[in-house]
């Protein structure tokens, strides 16, 4: 670890504090205000990249904090230079949890800036670390983050692939509640993809697993998605029965959607509900 790397890490932490982030006090740093942060990012790119490529604990921490401190108006070259550090670091530190966290930080920044292909690539780097460590919960979390990058690209088949892997992990680790949520999430994705028979199959399986578990908001919420799938696949009567049965257990947005469906005239075709449900379903997949 070089003295320069240590000082750059202190500067990056100071930059984050100036930006209002809740991070530790780094100690002595020349940065005093937002103008100083912008000047630092204008002047220190080559130094930061060289320090990151030293490939030790300080380097990895520097990478993560620089990603988080990157000003919105920073030159895109910063993103690409930091992204290019991923390959040598991944080779040198294939089992590093802090490096996985740095990859996540980078993926989120890249996604915010519309660099979705690079964001997905860093997401794959993060996922590779957790797969190697065989950490089920961090792996599920990485898959959820990666799916967000794929969704931003409009690659629904890749989003489905991430959801499939989450289901596999839940099954391998014998987590019934996680299995039920993962099946429900896949059912919702199949509605979005227009694969209604498959959607009904996944949601039927989710319903059976939920039957053996205590009542939860996730279970009630899944009934609304299941009803939508049944209705879209041509069984409006079964969909209405399911909605009437679950309505007393619903609150908020879930109850509103159920009532909205029940208020439709007989013979109507509801929308897929894909976009308005996505945030909740993503939470189900990794909860």
- Please report, for the domain that includes residue 278, its CATH number: 1.25.40
Element (H, E) at 237: helix 236-246
CA dihedral 127, 162, 84, 72 (to 10 degrees): -110
Per-residue pLDDT tens listing for the chain (287 residues)? 688 999 999 999 999 999 889 888 887 777 888 889 999 999 999 999 999 999 999 999 999 999 999 988 888 999 999 999 999 999 999 999 999 999 999 999 999 999 999 999 999 999 999 999 999 999 999 999 999 999 999 999 999 999 999 999 999 999 999 999 999 999 999 999 999 999 999 999 999 999 999 988 899 999 999 999 999 999 999 999 999 999 998 999 999 999 999 999 999 888 766 544 444 444 444 44
Token readout for 50 is: 């060289």
Kindly state whether residues 123 and 185 are assigned to the same domain.
no
Kindly state whether residues 114 and 216 are assigned to the same domain.
no
From 37, 56, 84, give the residue that closes a domain.
84
From 112, 133, 154, give the residue that closes a domain.
154
90 belongs to a structural domain: no
Kindly state whether residues 100 and 57 are assigned to the same domain.
no
From 154, 182, 197, give the residue that closes a domain.
154
DSSP type of residue 264: S
150 belongs to a structural domain: yes
At residue 78, the pLDDT reads: 95
Kindly state whether residues 36 and 122 are assigned to the same domain.
no
Kindly state whether residues 24 and 120 are assigned to the same domain.
no
Kindly state whether residues 150 and 186 are assigned to the same domain.
no
User: CA angle, corner 10, sides to 9 and 16, nearest 5?
Assistant: 90
At residue 102, the pLDDT reads: 98
89 belongs to a structural domain: no
Please give the residue range of the domain that contains residue 124: 95-154
61 belongs to a structural domain: yes
DSSP per residue over 18-71, as a string? HTT---------S--SHHHHHHHHHH-HHHHHHHHTT-SHHHHHHHHHHHHH--
Kindly state whether residues 22 and 134 are assigned to the same domain.
no
At residue 31, the pLDDT reads: 86
Q: Classify residue 135 as left (phi > 0), alpha (psi -120 to 50) or beta.
A: beta
DSSP type of residue 265: P
Kindly state whether residues 49 and 111 are assigned to the same domain.
no
Kindly state whether residues 66 and 117 are assigned to the same domain.
no
Number of domains in the chain: 3
Q: What is this structure's pTM?
A: 0.88
Kindly state whether residues 65 and 147 are assigned to the same domain.
no
Kindly state whether residues 71 and 112 are assigned to the same domain.
no
Kindly state whether residues 141 and 204 are assigned to the same domain.
no
33 belongs to a structural domain: yes
At residue 231, the pLDDT reads: 96
39 belongs to a structural domain: yes
Token readout for 256 is: 């509103």
Max intra-chain CA distance, the chain: 73
At residue 276, the pLDDT reads: 43
174 belongs to a structural domain: yes
């Amino acid at each position: 670890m070089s003295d320069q790397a240590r000082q750059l890490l202190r500067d990056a932490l100071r930059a984050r504090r100036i930006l209002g982030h809740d991070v530790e006090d780094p100690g002595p740093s020349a940065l005093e205000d937002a103008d100083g942060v912008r000047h630092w990012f204008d002047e220190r790119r080559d130094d930061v990249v060289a320090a990151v490529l030293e490939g030790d604990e300080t380097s990895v921490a520097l990478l993560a904090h620089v990603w988080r401190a990157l000003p919105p108006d920073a030159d895109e070259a910063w993103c690409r230079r930091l992204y290019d550090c991923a390959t040598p670091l991944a080779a040198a530190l294939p089992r590093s949890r802090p490096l996985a966290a740095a990859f996540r930080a980078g993926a989120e920044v890249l996604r915010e800036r519309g660099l979705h292909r690079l964001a997905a690539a860093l997401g794959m780097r993060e996922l590779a670390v957790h797969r190697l460590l065989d950490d089920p919960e961090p792996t599920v979390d990485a898959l959820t983050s990666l799916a967000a990058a794929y969704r931003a690209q409009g690659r629904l088949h890749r989003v489905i692939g991430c959801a499939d892997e989450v289901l596999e992990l839940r099954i391998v680790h014998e987590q019934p509640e996680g299995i039920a949520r993962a099946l429900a999430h896949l059912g919702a994705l199949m509605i979005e993809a227009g694969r209604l028979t498959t959607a009904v199959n996944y949601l039927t399986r989710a319903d059976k697993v939920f039957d053996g578990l205590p009542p939860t908001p996730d279970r009630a919420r899944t009934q609304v998605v299941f009803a939508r799938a049944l209705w879209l696949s041509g069984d409006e009567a079964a969909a209405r029965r399911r909605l009437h049965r679950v309505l007393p257990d619903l609150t908020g947005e879930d109850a509103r959607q159920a009532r909205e469906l029940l208020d439709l005239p007989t013979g109507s075709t509801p929308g897929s509900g894909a976009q308005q449900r996505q945030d909740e379903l993503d939470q189900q997949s990794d909860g």
